[in-house]
Structure 1
């Protein structure tokens, strides 16, 4: 399992109740650049901003979003990472690696403190 390690942090999500106000704050006050503003899941607005020059994004999500408010990390092989995390006794949020059109293979789980984590297959990392 050589490709199952974490390659990099891709993004960190923050729950927001007013996405327009959050977008203004992160871009106009903090100077971040807008990367994405759309609905990857129907009815769920997701905004990603990134500090200039950074490769790590901040994802702004509704607190009750079906998209996990989590730290998203890259891994070289999502299937190997899934097996490694499962075999370590970690409770997984998904019965298998998720494979959706246009999205890298991924799965969600929690660390021992209950923090949400997501692994996405990262060929660039």
Structure 2
């Protein structure tokens, strides 16, 4: 018996959503503190707002999902790429962003963790996108 193979028409990742307790506060952190671009800020009805941000020039955006604080403070699994992890680590720390230790392992690019105001965790990894 042979298994049939499914094919997809999926071609890319467009947006990754993260939970935030306050979309305005998260938007200020990502655009003001991190320097991301606001891609979209749309209210669709009385209780729903779709907000996306992205690193300048990035193809993939991050949706700031307002959900009253449920599910915040998690490891997002998102890895942002930088050309120089040590320089970005220093710059983030100087801007008051909570950063972890800069990790350097043989054969692995330098990396570190940082947190947004909700405690959501992200990784910075040195290398090309």
Q: Indicate the TM-score class for this superposition, using the shorter chain for normalisation.
A: 0.3 to 0.5
Q: Which has the higher contact order (CA 8 A, sep 6+)?
A: 1
Q: TM-score, normalised by structure 1?
A: 0.45
Q: TM-score, normalised by structure 2?
A: 0.44
Instruction: Give the number of the structure whose alpha-carbon radius of gyration is greater.
Output: 2
